[in-house]
Amino acid sequence: MTVLVVGSVALDSVETPFGKAENVIGGSGNFFSASASHLAPVQLVGVVGSDYPMDRLSPLQERGVDLAGVERAEGTSFRWRGRYTHDLNSAETLETHLGVFSHFRPKIPAAFRSAPFVFLANIDPRLQLDVLQQVERPKLVACDTMNFWIESRRPELLELLKHVDLVTLNDGEARQLTEKYNLVQAARWIMERGPKVVVIKKGEHGAFMFNEREVFFAPAYPLEEVFDPTGAGDSFAGGFMGYLARTGDLSKQNLRRAVVYGSVMGSFAVEKFSVERLLTIGPDDIQERLRQFRELVAFEEELATR
């Protein structure tokens, strides 16, 4: 089954303690697509400026990402420039240039409207709501968001929550949105406003998935060399949604497996700049990382007390 993603198609310039990359392909739409395309066909909706190097997206296309929804508008592309210091924990944004993205109105191509899985990556909640008007009864709709929208579009974001099945957001965003420091309480707050499932991403500290009755936790795979954390969260979402789309199974057990896939795909994303690593891995690499992941968390069940 296909997964439709609406998100940013950007150019990133990133500096980490290990090197620099200038104007590499980035944005939530690209990272999500590069990741999810390992598991299911992807339909990408976004906008680029007339300066965007479209040929750089052809590896995505070859991987099964349908770019028919990537609109080309007169003007400059969305560019982000950021820097990570030695702890690689949070990016310092040096520059954000929205360009054509500031006038983006997603137009979902007719052929995309029946996508059974829809991911509304981090864009203006008004646009996320608008996308939902254009699609036909998806099996699952998930959304992400960020601090900027939580602050500036709170009512629209709360409206959006009523119409999505699942939310992914990071721990800082969950706390900001809910004004609850405790993540169990934060997740409950969100679920009371609509979504049946909340995935809270904690970066290098892994991810929680909450539903009404259960909590699941998956760590981030501990890499010896984290090269560039940019896009890890969107790659996580890509692995998660891609696995759901591939299996078409929304059982609780399968959602747990989807989180594991998210964690695995996120761990690849951070090994190189941009989507570089995501574009070079194959099924064997994914399988091997899954095996390592299992080994990371496995303990035999016998745990009787005294």
Q: Which residues bind its own copies (CB under 8 A)?
A: 38-40, 86-88, 181-185, 202, 205-206, 208, 214-219, 222-226, 246, 253, 256-257, 259-261, 283, 286-287, 290, 294-306
Task: Report, in Å, the least distance between residue 302 CB and its own copies.
Answer: 7
Neighbouring C-beta atoms of residue 103, cutoff 10 Å: 10
Residue closer to its own copies (CB basis): 54 or 297: 297
Task: Report, in Å, the least distance between residue 98 CB and its own copies.
Answer: 32
Residue closer to its own copies (CB basis): 27 or 206: 206
295 φ/ψ angles, rounded to the nearest 5 degrees: -65, -35
Residue closer to its own copies (CB basis): 165 or 285: 285
Residue closer to its own copies (CB basis): 64 or 109: 64
Task: Report, in Å, the least distance between residue 263 CB and its own copies.
Answer: 11
Residue 217, both tokens:
């936790």
39 φ/ψ angles, rounded to the nearest 5 degrees: -125, -25
Angle subtended at Cα 46 by Cα 44 and Cα 154, rounded to the nearest 5 degrees: 110
Residue closer to its own copies (CB basis): 3 or 183: 183
Residue closer to its own copies (CB basis): 148 or 181: 181
Task: Report, in Å, the least distance between residue 194 CB and its own copies.
Answer: 21
Residues 6+ apart with CB under 8 A from 76: 49, 50, 51, 97, 99, 100
Report CA dihedral (204, 282, 83, 78) to the nearest 10 degrees. Answer: -120
Task: Report, in Å, the least distance between residue 236 CB and its own copies.
Answer: 15
Task: Report, in Å, the least distance between residue 146 CB and its own copies.
Answer: 21
Residues 6+ apart with CB under 8 A from 218: 206, 207, 209, 256, 259, 260, 262, 263, 293, 297
Task: Report, in Å, the least distance between residue 260 CB and its own copies.
Answer: 6
* DSSP structure string for 246-289: HH---SHHHHHHHHHHHHHHHHHHTTSSTTHHHHH--HHHHHHH
Please give the single-letter amino acid code of residue 189: W
Residue closer to its own copies (CB basis): 22 or 214: 214
Alpha-carbon torsion (270, 271, 276, 277), positive or negative? negative
Task: From 25, 69, 16, select the one nearest 46 (Cα to Cα).
Answer: 69
